Structures are given as structure tokens and as C-alpha cells.
Structure 1
Amino acid sequence: MKRSFGIFGIIIYALILSVFIPGKVQAAPGAGSGAIFAVKTSDSPESAVSTQQVNLNGIDFIVDTYHDRILYNDTGVPGYNLFSWKVMADDFNKPHSISSDGLIYLVTDTDNSRVATYTRLPSGEFIELQSFNNVGIRPHYCVYDAPTASFYVWSSYTGEMYIYKRTSGTYMVTLSAVKKIPALFGLYTRSFTIDGNNILLCSQGAGGIVVVNKKTFGFVGAYPVPAELGGVVQVVHVGSHYYLTTSSDRYGNMNMAMTVRSTSLVGFMSLATCEDVTAKLGGVSGMQIPYYITECNGLFYTRLIGQASGYHDKGVVFTEDLFGNILILSTWP
């Protein structure tokens, strides 16, 4: 199959030549609204374009993006619909992800280009603590990185990683650094995964996976994908494989959405060297769109977004056994 890697050649060149460009660090802690969200249950049985599900501090969360809210369930029983789930907060504009350091929760309020922090009160309500505006353009994904005690937040259109740290003994976070990847400026890049000493970025705009050093953000490698996998969402390392989710092909055809895996990142450069595991993860090709895969306590949580009549959003928790077999541990509404 004939493919053009011209854009990747330009990106690789720019990454190699670029040097770290320090971002302006905002010392201000960010003034939160102080809003307390009363405990209430979901008023709808289903989510709408839910991009992420996670388990944080023993609580299950679903980022219900097109309902502009985040749901949670602290019973340990996901149930068959969302009527048993409660609303953490519902004043977002297309949120995409949530993370936690064990004390506070950080949310990407994507279409407001904002991040906000929360904590849960002893009475059960969540309270907004801080709000940071102008976080690049449409920040999509966030991760708490325990080794550096930092929240990493990716701006999907500006090639910038915003790094926040919580002051020890307090609930306050401050923006400690903004690291830039100039070659990804203007190229839609909606997720990243911290994988050891590297960061793996899935860039639909660049047409593949870009790898940078976690500490320096210097270029490590680039892996262009074929047109069929062009709508890359996220790549994660699970057991003996890397898993890659896609929302469409390069041309926006969502019927091509799939999850594939390979024993190396190089394997994603050809359909012949990766395995389609959409069905093994409970998905139906052309009917559901796999989105983020998030590791929580050694297990992997992913959402499947329903796009066809009769196919609703659902979640899957999975892992791999020692032989590389996919084990489905639970399903979520």
C-alpha cells in the first residue's frame, strides 16, 4: 500500500533541531469558584461520547463528555445503567479526562481551555478548589505522575505540556513548568502516555506516534501509521503489547475505528504487523469508537463510544495474562 510520510519527515526534522523553549510559569495559584456540588444521581441512563473511565482512590469515574459532566460511583458495583451513578460536577464544556494524586482531583475542562481541581468533603460532596484558564487550546488529557509528584496536562493544539505541582501539606497546586514540542504546534494531538523515561504522544494531526524524553522533551522517535489507523487516540503499554486506539481512519471515517496491538511501536507502521483486538475488548467495528485507555492500579480502563443506533457507550476493564491473552475483568454502563 502506498503511503506518504512527508509530514512525518518534517516533524522529525523539527524535533531534532528544536531545543527546549521554557514556557511562562504562572505563580498565581488560580482562583477556584469554591462551588460545592450537591450530591445528586444521574438523570440519564447512558453517557454521551464518554471519553474516559478510571478508578481513583477506590471511586469509579466516567468522564461524560457530551453531557458536560463527570460521574462517579463509590459502591464498587458499576450496574447496568447510570441511574445509580452520582454527579461529581456538571459545569464543564466537553471535559475529557480526570486524574488524582490521592488528595485532589484535576479535570481537563477541554472546550473552556481550562483545568480545575477538586476534593471530596467528608459529607460526600465535591468542591472546586482552583481553576486555571488559558491552558493552551483545548487541553485533552491529564495524568498524575507519582515519581515527579506532578500533574501533566496536554494542550491538544499548541504542542505544550503544562505541569502542575501540589504544595506539600496543602490542597493548592501551582503551574511549575510549560514544556513545548514546537513540531506539534497546530497538529491535533489528543493524548499522551508516560512510559518509563519517555512520553508517547498520539497525534492525529501528525499522522502517528511521537516519542519524547520525559525529562528533556527531546525527540526520541516517530512512528507514522497507515491511513487506516490515522485517527489515533491513545497508545499504552499493557503486558507484552502496546495497544493503540483509533477513532477513525486518516480521512475521518469513524466506521474504521478500532483497537490494535503490537509488541512494539514499529508494529503500528503497517496493518500486517499489528493485531485488531476490537472484538476481544468487547467492541463492534463500525458501531463503537474506542477512546482513552487509562492504567489504574495495574488494570486498564477504556471507553467504547456508541456511534450507531442500538449501540451505547460502555466501558471495559481489562489486563493481559502472562501469555498475552486479554482478560476482561468487568464492564461498565
Structure 2
Amino acid sequence: MIDLNNVSMRFRLANDRIMSLKEYVVKKISGKLEYKEFVALNDVSFSIEKGEVVGIIGSNGAGKSTLLKIISGILAPTQGKVKVTGTIAPMLELGAGFDIDLTARENVFLNGAVLGHSKQYLTEKYNEIVEFSELQQFMDVPIRNFSSGMIMRLAFSIATLVNPDILIVDEILSVGDAHFQRKSSQRMQELMDGGTTVILVSHSLEQIRQMCTRVIWLDRGNLKMIGDTDEVCDAYINAINGISQEDSKILNSFRGKLYTPTAIAKFGKEYFIVDCWHHRVIYTSNLAEPINKWRAFRGDFTNPHSIATDGEVYLVEDTENDSVKVFRRRGTTFIETQVIKQIGRQPNKLVYDSNTKRFYGIAASSQQVFVLKNINGEVKVEKVIKLEYLENAYVRSINIIDDHMYIVSGPGKIMVANYIDLSFDLVREYKVPFELQGMNDLAKIGSFYYMSVYQNGAGDIAPKLIRAKDLDELETEFEDIYDQLGLNGVPYYFSVIEDRIFLTEIDSYSSIRSFKLIDDNIYDIVVHYDIGVADESSLKRRNSRFA
């Protein structure tokens, strides 16, 4: 949709200050007019596909605005070729394309014509534009009397409500009150979901990270870097902080590894890994693909643990920030659309139950179960309840087994509760021996209950992986399969993907492995990712969120 090949832009700047046309003519004729050349862009090449949301970052004077004007057709490059397919709505400068002596009503048609739209089309869209801008009572007022926020509302409404193929935005989303910023962000989301290609320039890296699928970094007119949003943004921040590009590569090498991958799942044709201590969720359609080829969710987490979906929205807990983040698919990526708070301290496990069409989660440090429901695209909190029978135990996991919720492990016990009626009343409990009291997860697979263990009853790290047929006899009878699976670290969450049981390994050693069951016997153990002990880049990535 957009192709730039070896594009350069040079400006000639006069060395002397010329005060009049006469002075200019005299110096020009006498050959005393001197110029210096300013290179705004130097040999820039890249392509943007339809539906992509691409961010452009760089310090002041990097060439960002010049680049946008070239793509918009406002400037012609001094060298190179630019090819753009589709209609463009450029929002480059507040009020550009407006006549301040005309009314807002007249400027709708003037600005719309500048964007290439017919009078008939603008007449059809007029009421929609006015309604979105919330300027109904000011449409017959000359815009010279408008505030900058009112001009921004009108410009944004015209540019986005005519459904352009390409929308170019230069910092304009940061203008206006909080209400309109939320409204404009929602409209941007609708455009992006509808396939509009968006190029966004912003000094807000948080905004770039949340909205963009790729990022271009310009430095003094040169294309410094282009690629994955987080990778480019991290390299840019490192450069600002004086970290060399070579050191930046070392710091960013964590992207090819896992550090405490707490969960793996498959939804549709894609695999998802929650890479907890790297603070990210990654995904791919090919499980054999190297980790550095997996793509990352566009969002910011601190120690996520699990992911759940109803097929429309994808929920991930942001554990250290006491919240759950909601994501939606946009093209080939996933974009954060909602943050849910006030659900307890340190949410640690999410599950989706297709029977009740609800999400359930456990807040590990406050012993609260929370219930979330997707209602017409918005995830709402249906219930939050503190389970007094958990006492003050740190609880890492819940699972739905045989129409009941299993909670592991409470105060030395596995708790079983009614969840369908939202009462969460305790219906039974199973005592857990001292060495298994710090459980991570419990799943029923075949004839056995499988349990992963982090700590013993004293809080000492003492990893185990066990299975038992009868939870009533768990205190005296269980099978230890830790060595059989060749584990080195702490086993964490189980998941069943097609005909295999997957297990994540965390903490002192990171890996993901799977196995098959035939008549409850374990066969065909496969190590999918054997990352081992965390290196310097992973340790720094983990600690950077708490610096």
C-alpha cells in the first residue's frame, strides 16, 4: 500500500537573513546569495502493507513530520520514489486545511474537499461528523473563535468519519480533554479493526506500544531501525539512556528465550506462551518456530501467569498491577482494549468455562475469586468474593473439574467449591501432605489427578510433580513423576493441547515439555523449548519492571 525507495529530502537554507525582495534580487544577481543544505531525510526505504498500524519515533528534528508530508503528497522528495495506493487522510497539523474566517460548517466541506471527498459525500456524512465532534451549537461560528481542542475535534471528526484507506496522525491524539481522547482512541480502534492503514507519530512510547504492530525509528533523517514494536522502542530508550547499540542487542537478546514460562495454550490455530518473568505474552501458528520468531501481544504486563479466551476477547492477568487486561485480535496482532481493576491482590490464574460463558480468576494474595463476563464486547466484573475458608493462604490456581471449581492449595488443603451458582460455597476439601502444600496447579487427565508443587509447608522451594487417583488418599498415596519427565526446575501449569499434555517449567530452569498418555502410561516425552538457567539479558528484563 505504501512503498518508499531511497527517498531523500534536502532543503536549501539561506545563510544570510534577507529582509526584503529587493535585497534578495540584488544578492541573487550579484551571486552573493549563499545557501547551506539541510538533509531532512537520507535514503529512506520501507514498505507498509494494508491494515498495518505503524509508529514512527525519533527525537525532534529526526525527520518524522517531513516523512509524513512526503507520504501524504504535500512534499515531493528531492530523490527516490514514493508509491501510495488508496485515499489518504493526513492529520499533520492542528487546523491544517481550515480557513479561520469560515464557519465550522463551511470548513467541513472545505477540509473534506482538500481530503478528496465530493460535496454529496460530505453532505451525507455531515450529521455524523457534527455528532462525533460534539460541536452542534458552534457549527455556524467562525473557527477563529474556537479553542485548539475544538479545532482538533472538528479535524479528527472529518478525517476519521470518512473512512480513509490510510490515516496519518501526527501527535493529534494527545490534544483535547480526557473524554475526547478516549472517544478518539475508540474511533481509531474501529478504523484499525476495519482495515484502515494507520501511520502514527507520537512521543508517547506507551501509546506506540499499545497501538502499533511495527515501528520505524528515525535519527537525524536516517532510518535507524524498523521492526517489532517492543524491540524498536526498547532500543530507542536504550539509546536515549546512553546504552550502545551493541549493548542494546545484548539486553534485547531475551526475546529469543523464555524465562519462567508459566502457561502454554492453543486457541484456534495458534499457540500462546505466557512468558512471566519476561513480562510478555507471545504467540505463533508453528510450535517448532524459534522463540525469537514468535510475535508479542501489544501491551504492558508485570509478571503475567495465564491466558484465557472466549474466542472474541483474550484475557491476561497483570499480576503485580492487580489487574486483568483484555485484548482483541487486529489482523495478525493482539491489541489491549480494556483494563479491569478492583478484583483483588495479585490475580494469578484465569480460566474460561464455556458452559457458563464466564471467566473465573483467583487473586492469590487476597483469597478472592472474581467472575468476569463478556457482555456485547465489553468485559464486566460480575462478582468478587473473598473465600474465608482459604484463610490467609497464598493460592496460585483454580481449575474447573467435573462441574466444580478446584482451588489449590489453600491452608494445607485442596478446596472444592460450587461455582455455577456463583456462591462458591465449599462442598468438600482434601488434606494435603506437608511436602505438597505449596501447589501450583491441579488437573484431572485420564484416571489421575496431576499436581505440580513449588514449595513445602514451610515455604521452602522443593519442586515436585506427582499424580494420584484418589484425592482422599493423597496424604499417603501418590506417584512422583518429576524425574520421569526429566525436570530441573519448578513444574507449573498443565494444559491439554490436542492429544498431548503440556507442562511448563519455571524459576531456576525454564522449559516447556509435553507427553502422551496411553492407558494412563506416560509415553513420547518431548522437550519443545529447553532454555535452562536465565542469562544476564533475562535477569535484567525481569528486574527492569521493578527498578
Q: TM-score, normalised by structure 1?
A: 0.79
Question: 1:83: how far off?
Answer: 1.6
The one-letter code of the counterpart of 1:158 is S
Q: Deviations over 1:285-308 (max 9, x none)?
A: xx310011134456432201251x
Q: Which residue of 2 aligns with 1:38?
A: 213
Question: 1:150: how far off?
Answer: 0.7
Q: Deviations over 1:107-155 (max 9, x none)?
A: 0111100001101112x12111111112201000000100001111111
The one-letter code of the counterpart of 1:197 is D
2:446 to 199, 218, 239: 239
Q: Which residue of 2 aligns with 1:72?
A: 283
- Indicate the larger mover: 106-115 or 156-165: 156-165
Q: Deviations over 1:238-274 (max 9, x none)?
A: 00100010012222332x201100112123222xx10
Q: Which residue of 2 aligns with 1:145?
A: 353
Q: Which residue of 2 aligns with 1:331?
A: 527
Q: Which residue of 1 aligns with 2:241?
A: none
What SS does the corresponding residue of 1:164 show, helix, strand or coil?
A: strand
Question: 1:330: how far off?
Answer: 4.3
Quote the Cα distance in structure 1 between the aligned partners of 2:471 and 2:212: 42
Question: 2:492 aligned with 1:315, yes or no?
Answer: no
Q: Which residue of 2 aligns with 1:188?
A: 394
Matches within 5 A, 1:29-178: 35-38=210-213, 40=228, 43-44=253-254, 45-74=256-285, 76-79=286-289, 81-89=290-298, 91-122=300-331, 124-167=332-375, 170-178=376-384
Q: Is the 8 A contact 2:271 2:287 kept in 1?
A: no
Q: Is the 8 A contact 1:180 1:217 kept in 2?
A: no
Q: Is the 8 A contact 1:316 1:328 kept in 2?
A: no
Q: Which residue of 2 aligns with 1:25?
A: none
> For the pair shown, which has the larger CA radius of gyration, 1 or 2?
2
The one-letter code of the counterpart of 2:287 is V
Quote the Cα distance in structure 2 between the aligned partners of 1:116 and 1:297: 27
Q: Deviations over 1:199-251 (max 9, x none)?
A: 11112x51231111223322122222222112111111000100010012222
Coordinate RMSD, CA, aligned:
2.3
Q: Which residue of 2 aligns with 1:301?
A: 502
1:201 to 391, 398, 407: 407
RCO higher in structure (CA 8 A, sep ≥6): 1
Q: How has the CA–CA distance of structure 1 residues 238 and 60 changed in structure 2, closer, same or farther, with 3 Å as cutoff?
A: same
What SS does the corresponding residue of 2:428 show, helix, strand or coil?
A: strand
Structure 1: runs of 5 or more not aligned: 1-30
Q: Is the 8 A contact 1:207 1:225 kept in 2?
A: yes
Q: Deviations over 1:140-172 (max 9, x none)?
A: 0000100001111111122222111112xx422
Q: Tell me which protein shows more helix as a share of its residues.
A: 2
Q: Is the 8 A contact 1:114 1:139 kept in 2?
A: yes
Question: 1:37: how far off?
Answer: 4.9
Q: Is the 8 A contact 1:36 1:126 kept in 2?
A: no
What SS does the corresponding residue of 2:455 show, helix, strand or coil?
A: coil
Quote the Cα distance in structure 2 between the aligned partners of 1:236 and 1:102: 22
Quote the Cα distance in structure 1 between the aligned partners of 2:458 and 2:273: 28
Identity, in percent, stands at 27
Q: Which residue of 2 aligns with 1:276?
A: 480
2:473 to 253, 264, 267: 267
The one-letter code of the counterpart of 1:83 is N
The one-letter code of the counterpart of 1:213 is N
Q: Is the 8 A contact 1:208 1:232 kept in 2?
A: no
Q: How has the CA–CA distance of structure 1 residues 114 and 221 changed in structure 2, closer, same or farther, with 3 Å as cutoff?
A: same
Q: Tell me which protein shows more strand as a share of its residues.
A: 1
What SS does the corresponding residue of 1:186 show, helix, strand or coil?
A: coil
Q: Is the 8 A contact 2:450 2:467 kept in 1?
A: yes
